[in-house]
Amino acid sequence: MGVSGGIAAYKACELLRRLTESGHDVTVVPTAAALEFVGAPTWAALSGKPVHTDVWSDVHQVPHVRIGQTADLVVVAPATADLMAKAAHGLADDLLTTTLLTARCPVVLAPAMHTEMWEHASTRANVATLRSRGVLVVEPAEGRLTGADTGKGRLPDPSEIFEVCTDVLARGATASLDLAGRHVVVSAGGTREPLDPVRFLGNRSSGRQGYALARAAAARGADVTLVAANVELPDPAGVKVVRVETTAQLHDAVVGAAVSADAVVMAAAPADFRPTGVSGAKIKKAGDGSAPTITLVQNADILHELSTRRARPGSVVVGFAAETGDDTGSVLDLARAKLARKGCDLLVVNDVSGGAVFGSPDNEAVILGADGAVREVPRSTKTALAHVIWDEVVHRLVPGSGPGFAP
């Protein structure tokens, strides 16, 4: 774990803690500037190992070569503009930059800096160079920076950088950035349709599968927009999160983001209906014991609409279907009919007859393709299912330019 000289170095202590507590053997390599923010004793105590910044300590063990050569992953958090400039140009004047030159394992950089530095043409070029070489450069988050100012450049939450590291480590040698240069849109969560200022019609979707899809896409190098409806989960690292409440808002956010997208995955559970009107005042009980009548109107079917908005061959639309069989057909019969009705390329089918999927960390599914493909995914984590879904998307994407979907 490399640490370069930014104030966010203090957050790397939390990342280190998570890595060691989950059983990883971590060597911390701070730059001299990083030690101005957090001292060597902190890194040594948390990692249980000696800490060096230059190449002149323990020279007989050749640490400037050995650390990079023996690592399964190199993560640098925070990665400053200066560190990325050195890495992009192959400079090697301390232990961290020599480690980056000798590492042949996956490399994850989590940049943190002021917005102006992140947006500067030099940094843009260095990030592009590093990404073109297969380095996973995580997009910084937006929010409060060092001073009172806010903007893009914040280090993502350490727990989310940890998730990226775990994902890359789990995929090991197969951890390719096969979604690099792609923009994908994922929807997650359940929409709420207000009835009055305090009540709404909603559903139990937790948003976990959509968040797992967004995380997995970011770990494969995609530019990810996550449209989240009422989800109480932390923002995934490197993902642009747009928060919405109703199906109409979800529709506008997804359709708007889809214009520049190569693929859209509708993992959200949008309410199919909304009340015809929202009461301005809280709905009161009538004195005579009668119940109010609530009239509903149908919302747009976003998945179906996206399928009709494809602007070029090779932009991929993925839907989800939570199904139970009935006397008209089995789960798969009904799912095949839904795939045809929605017009999407892939439909991820969950059999919810047992009612087990909602809120659970696991999922099992069958992925149906409009091309007739059928892929069964046995019970596994939502992350593992997310990667299988992206595998199916990746080999359907056709390189192309121009808008993926009509505005």
Please report whether residue 363 would count as binding ligand CTP according to CB under 6 A.
Answer: no
- Which of 38/306 has CB closer to ligand CTP? 306
DSSP letters of 296-362?
Answer: EEEPP-HHHHHHH-B-STT-EEEEEEEE--BTTB-HHHHHHHHHHHHT-SEEEEEE-TT---TT-SE
Please report whether residue 103 would count as binding ligand CTP according to CB under 6 A.
Answer: no
Handedness of CA 276, 280, 283, 287 (dihedral sign): negative
Q: Is 364 exposed, middle or buried (0-12, 13-18, 19+ CB in 10 A)?
A: middle
Rounded CA gap, 251 and 272, in Å?
12
Please report whether residue 207 would count as binding ligand CTP according to CB under 6 A.
Answer: no
Choose one: 101-109, 208-216, 217-225, 297-305; the region binding ligand CTP (CB under 6 A): 297-305
- Which of 95/261 has CB closer to ligand CTP? 261
Beta bridge partners of 239: 224
The minimum distance between CB 261 and ligand CTP, in angstroms, equals: 15
The minimum distance between CB 266 and ligand CTP, in angstroms, equals: 4
The minimum distance between CB 307 and ligand CTP, in angstroms, equals: 10
Residue among 388, 371, 370 nearest 379 (CA): 388
Please report whether residue 302 would count as binding ligand CTP according to CB under 6 A.
Answer: yes
At 375, list the tokens. Answer: 């892929």
Beta bridge partners of 329: 326
Please report whether residue 307 would count as binding ligand CTP according to CB under 6 A.
Answer: no
- Which of 177/242 has CB closer to ligand CTP? 242
Q: Which of 203, 230, 350, 363 is catalytic?
A: 203
Residue 332, amino acid: L
Query: Which of residues 139, 262, 301, 392 is near ligand CTP by CB under 6 A?
Result: 301
Neighbours of 40 (CB within 10 A): 15
Please report whether residue 351 would count as binding ligand CTP according to CB under 6 A.
Answer: no
Specify whether the CB–CB gap between 264 and 258 falls below 8 A.
yes
Please report whether residue 227 would count as binding ligand CTP according to CB under 6 A.
Answer: no
DSSP letters of 63-127?
Answer: HHHHHHHH-S-EEEEEEPHHHHHHHHHT---SHHHHHHHH--S-EEEEE---HHHHHSHHHHHHH
Catalytic: 203?
yes
The minimum distance between CB 273 and ligand CTP, in angstroms, equals: 9
Query: Which of residues 225, 270, 350, 377 is near ligand CTP by CB under 6 A?
Result: 270
Size of the site for ligand CTP (CB under 6 A): 12
Measured between alpha carbons, how far is residue 221 from residues 152, 330, 368 in Å? 18, 38, 25
Choose one: 62-70, 195-203, 222-230, 265-273; the region binding ligand CTP (CB under 6 A): 265-273
Query: Which of residues 28, 303, 317, 377 is near ligand CTP by CB under 6 A?
Result: 303
Specify whether the CB–CB gap between 184 and 261 falls below 8 A.
yes
Query: Which of residues 205, 299, 350, 363 is near ligand CTP by CB under 6 A?
Result: 299
Residue 94, amino acid: D
The minimum distance between CB 30 and ligand CTP, in angstroms, equals: 45
Please report whether residue 268 would count as binding ligand CTP according to CB under 6 A.
Answer: yes
Choose one: 79-87, 198-206, 294-302, 378-386; the region binding ligand CTP (CB under 6 A): 294-302
At 225, list the tokens. Answer: 């927009």
Contacting ligand CTP within 309-348 (CB under 6 A)? 319-321
Please report whether residue 37 would count as binding ligand CTP according to CB under 6 A.
Answer: no
Please report whether residue 30 would count as binding ligand CTP according to CB under 6 A.
Answer: no
Stated as kind and residue range, the H or E segment containing 210 is: helix 208-219
- Which of 44/352 has CB closer to ligand CTP? 352
At 231, list the tokens. Answer: 């989800």
Neighbours of 55 (CB within 10 A): 18
Q: Which residues are catalytic?
A: 203
The residues that touch ligand CTP, with contacts defined as CB under 6 A, are 247, 266, 268, 270, 272, 299, 301-303, 319-321
